[in-house]
Structures are given as C-alpha cells and as structure tokens.
Amino acid sequence: MRVSKLLGQRFKNPPSDCVIESHALMARGGYMKYMANGIYSLFMPGKRILHKIEEIIRDEMDRADGQEVLFPVAMPASLWEESGRYTSIGPELARWTDRSGNKMVLGMTHEEAAVHLARDTAASYADYPFMIYQIQTKFRDEPRARGGLIRVREFTMKDAYSFHTSKEDLERYYAIQHKAYENIFRRAGAKNVISVKSDSGMMGGSVSHEFMLLSEIGEDTLAICPECGYSANMEAAEVRIENEPGEPAPLEKVPTPGKTTIEDVSSYLHVSPKSFCKAVVYQKNEDDSLVVVFIRGDLDVNETKLRNHLGFEIHPATVGEDSPVVPGFIGPVGFPAGIKTVFDASLRGIRNLVCGANEKDAHYTGFDPERELGAVSYADVAKIFAGAVCPACGKPVITIKKGIEVGNIFQLGTKYTKAMNMTYLDQNGEAQYPLMGCYGVGVGRLAASICQESHDDYGPIWPMSIAPWQVEVCNLRCDDPDITARSEGIVEELEALGVEVLYDDRDIRPGAMFADADLFGIPIRVVVSPKTAERGVYEVSYRDKSFRGDVPYEGAAEAIREMVDKELAKYAR
C-alpha cells in the first residue's frame, strides 16, 4: 500500500473530545473517523488491525470446536419478549417498529438468537455439546460513549454460545474457553490482561470471569491480592472484616446538635469512624420504598452487591421532610417499623458503637447490635478497599487497580433455554433444558486498549501480530530516481516474500514522514535515502526503539523477513 493513495489524514493535534491517549492517537493517526456520538467509521489501518484481531479470535474459537455462524442484527421483539429481556433491559436496547407495524430490536448481544438457531435442531442428547459463535456488529445505546473505540454504541463483538447436557460438561468447556481467552489476549500482544471473578448479577450461583486489561483509564475497579493471586471485580469481591469487640458500655443517648455526618459526630464525640454504625438510605426502583443499610462508619456500600442481595433494583434515596427516617440521625435502635433494613457484616462482633437515635440532634453511644436487637442477620454489601483482608488467603494486603474489560465468560445455566423453552431428549427419553455458557470479546475495544497500553508520545506501538502492516518503507527522496528504484525494489522483494508493506512514497520532508510513521506504529521501519545508498544499506529500526541498524542491500529482504518472523514468533500460540 502506498501512503500517497491511502485515505485518511494524520494530524498533530487531537480533536477536543479526546481525553484518553489511545483515542487521541487513533484519531490523529487516521485510524477512524467520528460520525456521531459513539459511532465511528474505520479507515484502512484501523480495519486491518481489527481484522487481525478477529483472525486470532477465530483461530482460537475454531480450535475450541466452535462453529462460526451469523445472526441477524435486526431481530423481532417477540424473541426478546420470550426471554423477558424486551422489558428488563432499559434504553440501551434499540427498539423500533418496521413498516408492517412489527416491533423490532437491534442486537446488543445474541443469546436469544443463539437459542432460536439451536432449539429445533439440537433435539437429542447425542447432539451435545456444541458451541456456535459469530463476529459481528452490536448496537447498544450506551449512555456514556467514551475513549474512542473503548466504549462505543456500535461495535464488533465476538460472541460465542455453548450448549451442554450437564453442569460438569459446562464447567469442563468453560475452562477450555478460559484458556482460549488467555491465548487470544497474549497473541494479540496485550501485556497486562488478568482474569477476575465477576458479578453474575441476580442469577445466583453462576460463575463468570472478566478479562481485564490493567489500565489507569479503566472504568472497572478490581481487588487484587499480590500474595495469592486472588482477583475479583469490586462488584464481586467479598469483604471480610474481623472486628475487635471493644469494651461493652451501656446504651446512652447523647445530644449531637447539628452533627449530621460521620466526620462531624466523630470529632464531636472523639470516636473513630470505625466505631460508628452508619446508615445509608436507598429506594426500591419499583415503588420508591426505603431500604436502609447499616454499615461500619469507615466503609462504603457497593450498590451491585446490595442489589444482588436484595434481588431488586435500587437507587440512592432522596429523603424529604415528611420521611419516616431522620436524615443524619438514623440508627437501628428505635428504627421505624416496616422499613427494609440490611446489616452489613462489617458490624458483626462490635460491642460498642455510635449510631443515630432516630430523632433530630441525638445519637446513641454503647450500641451493641446483638444485645439491643437479638440475633442479627448480616449480609456482605461493603465495597472492598486497599488493605482489606484477602478472602482467599486471609492476609490484609488487597490492592485496588483499574481495568478495561476486554472480554468476559459466563456460565449461564438454563436461564435462556428455560425462558425460551429449548429442550432435548435425554438418554431416558425425558425432556431436559440444556445448560448454556456465553463468551464475549469486544474487538475494537481490545484494539484501543492495546494502543492505550502500548504507545509513546508520538503514536501507537503495535505488536507485530496485529499491526496494520508489518514493515513501513520510507523513501526520503521521491524526486531521486535511484532512491525511488531502491525503495520500490525492496517493497517488491518484501511483498514477494509475503511481508505486508506500507510504502511512504510522498514527496514530503523526512520529519513529516517520520511523524506519520510514528502514528502508523508499524513495528519495523526501513529508511531509504541518499545517505543509506552511499553506504549500500537500508537503515532498519524498530518502532519500540529496541533496534536500529544497517542492513546491506544484498539479502536485505530475507533479513527483514527474518526480523518480522522473529517478532511474530513472540505472539505465536
């Protein structure tokens, strides 16, 4: 490919909406073009990167016995009504009515389509297990598109669905997918991807993992144990607290005029926030009824854990004048009847706490949950924090990191097959619901995440396995017939050896050509100029700066091919 003919401009300053480096570099480098919020077109370099990632994924899915299929993007709403998701999913699901008046949706994921495809054909236990997958466009009307391809509204996803006749078989296959995912990320050149235990939503018992590329710009918060390797999304991380009981004291009401926050009361009464029973108030989405969580004063509630515990959706409460609770002074003693309460496990075992007295300007001291309330049933709804006790090895060394979710795998069980009435006949001729697993990777998000992880100030540093081209040849003197003949010669020879070459044949200053080359991020650069011609060599350098040297004309193409192969080998299976 000649740069002179390549569509797409490279420029110095990023568009103003680029706050993340990878977004800025991919916009500046002519990889993609903004069309509308969360919607981009890709130029050829961007498309080639995505294509290479897709090929890696395809290879891993085929090796995991996958059958590549293709589901429609536009689907009848009736299919989504069967699964219940037509109503349970919010405005992220794009809905419309076609010209005949049929309700339709745009696929944001394809569990329904997978069940639809398989349910009439896989009728006997002998047809199982099997896995179907596709690499295709998804549409999600995301509330907050951000970071270029990291969070978009239209994107390419690889989504796979496996079907099994037993839990054991699903678990066996899940492990195969877990390994395939590790291979995908390593082969694509992502350096810092870890798998973390993730929140399985309200489906109970299900197992799921997210693959997280560790990055400061990630939207997910992860709890990691450097000692034993435990890792979990904050939304799934168990918080274990062992409290010192403290000296029991009598329950006493004390005046705390105008002291409504933990900080206020704690400095007023000279007690640490750890000795507080704090109240956090939510409302049930369905009817706005109150839910009050009591938790140790120094901790926060994780809303996802709370939601899973409750089994219904909630939002932070707006407490008005006529509310039955007294904001700033809410506590478990004398708490109004009929309001749902949750006691976080962080309160377990403490004998002497400060809590609100459920009246204005007063708190209790000496609150002992068990003494005052009898048996308390505790739930773990706390947000994990740095230095927390690792739930796996028990050491107080949890560290908190940010990550970008590049893929996830999920043991779905019979959720969809039951809802959509997919059955098979088992060995005894009895109808059974198959168990499902699902496995997703965001192709564009992975490309952008790798750029985020692997770049310098001047541009992306693409791993050889996904680079848009393997070698860039820079002709520094297009007006010189000898230099041009040399340049075109090496391009031809390399291409004849199967090397993918981008050839910069433009009559521009070397500085401008190199700035563009940095933005292309191609791993190996070959410079042809009067100076190199004088020495009878090509100057070869690596985009990651690990090598720079002369390669003599004689045998140059073979030598460069070898360099490419050596780089490729780093990402081999």
Please give the residue ranges that form the binding site for ligand ATP (CB under 6 A): 109, 140, 142, 151-152, 155, 157, 405-408, 440-442, 444-445
Three-state SS string across 21-60, please?
HHHHHHHHCCCEEEEECCEEEECHHHHHHHHHHHHHHHHH
Cα distances from 446 to residues 18, 149, 473, 478, in angstroms, run: 18, 9, 27, 37
Report the b/e string of 427-458 with b at 16+ CB within 10 A.
eeeeebbbbbbbbbbbbbbbbbbbbbbbbeeb
- Report in angstroms how near the CB of residue 441 gets to ligand ATP at its nearest: 6
Residue placing its CB nearer to ligand ATP in the complex, 206 or 541: 206
Closer to ligand ATP by Cβ: residue 145 or 290 = 145
In the complex with ligand ATP, the residue whose CB is nearer, 140 or 278, is 140
Q: Which residue from 480, 467, 410 is spatially nearest to 181, judged by alpha carbons?
A: 410
223 or 291: whose CB is closer to ligand ATP? Answer: 223
Q: What angle in degrees, to the nearest 10, is found between the helix axes of 443-453 and 21-28?
A: 100
Q: At closest approach, how far in Å is the CB of 175 from ligand ATP?
A: 19
Closest CB to ligand ATP among 112 and 504?
112
The string of DSSP codes covering 123-186 is -BGGG-SEEEEEEEEEE---SS-BTGGGB-SEEEEEEEEEEESSHHHHHHHHHHHHHHHHHHHH
Question: Nearer to ligand ATP by C-beta: 140 or 401?
Answer: 140
- Which of 43/155 has CB closer to ligand ATP? 155
**Looking at the DSSP assignment, which residues form a beta bridge with residue 40?**
34
Shortest separation between residue 67's beta carbon and ligand ATP, angstroms: 20
Contact assessment for residue 364 and residue 250, using Cβ atoms and an 8 Å cutoff: no
Handedness of CA 398, 406, 185, 521 (dihedral sign): negative
Measured between alpha carbons, how far is 162 from 131 in angstroms, rounded to an integer?
4
Closest CB to ligand ATP among 128 and 416? 416
- Distance in Å, CB of 118 to ligand ATP, minimum: 20
Q: Residue 64: helix, strand or coil by DSSP?
A: coil
Tokens of 216: 């400061």
Q: Which is nearer to ligand ATP, 145 or 522 (CB)?
A: 145
Instruction: In whole angstroms, give the CA distance from residue 496 to residue 475.
Output: 19
Q: Residues near 99 by Cβ (< 8 Å), separated by ≥ 6?
A: none
- According to DSSP, residue 4 is labeled G
* Per-position DSSP letters for 73-102, written without gaps between them: SEEEHHHHHHHTHHHHS-TTS-EEE-TTS-
CB 44, CB 478: distance < 8 Å: no
Tell me how far, at minimum, the Cβ of 216 lies from ligand ATP, in Å.
Answer: 16
Residues 345, 379: contact at Cβ < 8 Å?
A: yes
CA distance 534 to 477: 13
Count of beta carbons in the 10 Å neighbourhood of residue 258: 9
Pairing of the two strands 435-442 and 455-456: unpaired
CB of 141 to ligand ATP, least distance (A): 10
> Are 381 and 417 a contacting pair, CB within 8 Å?
no
Note whether 128 and 119 are within 8 A (CB): no
Distance CA(56)–CA(63), nearest Å, equals 11
Least gap, CB of 136 to ligand ATP (angstroms): 12
Residue 392 CB, nearest approach to ligand ATP (Å): 24
User: Minimum Å distance from CB 445 to ligand ATP?
Assistant: 4
Please report how close the Cβ of residue 449 comes to ligand ATP at its closest, in angstroms: 8
Contacts of 311 (CB under 8 A, 6+ apart): 202
How far apart CA 207 and CA 411 sit, in angstroms, is 5
The CB-of-403 to ligand ATP minimum distance in angstroms stands at: 10
In the bound state with ligand ATP, the residue whose beta carbon lies nearer, of 290 and 438, is 438
Which one, 107 or 468, has the nearer CB to ligand ATP?
A: 107
Min CB(315)–ligand ATP separation in Å: 19
Q: Locate 96 and state its tokens.
A: 């419309």
And the tokens for 194?
């870890």
Phi (first) and psi of residue 214, to 5 degrees? -65, 125
CB of 330 to ligand ATP, least distance (A): 32
Which residue lies nearer to ligand ATP by CB, 85 or 140? 140
Rounded to whole angstroms, the Cα distance separating 353 from 362 reads 14
Q: Which residue's CB comes closest to ligand ATP?
A: 442
The residue (of 124 and 137) whose beta carbon lies closer to ligand ATP is 137
Q: Which is nearer to ligand ATP, 148 or 523 (CB)?
A: 148
Report in angstroms how near the CB of residue 454 gets to ligand ATP at its nearest.
Answer: 17
Least gap, CB of 17 to ligand ATP (angstroms): 16
Of 183 and 289, the one with the shorter C-beta distance to ligand ATP is 183
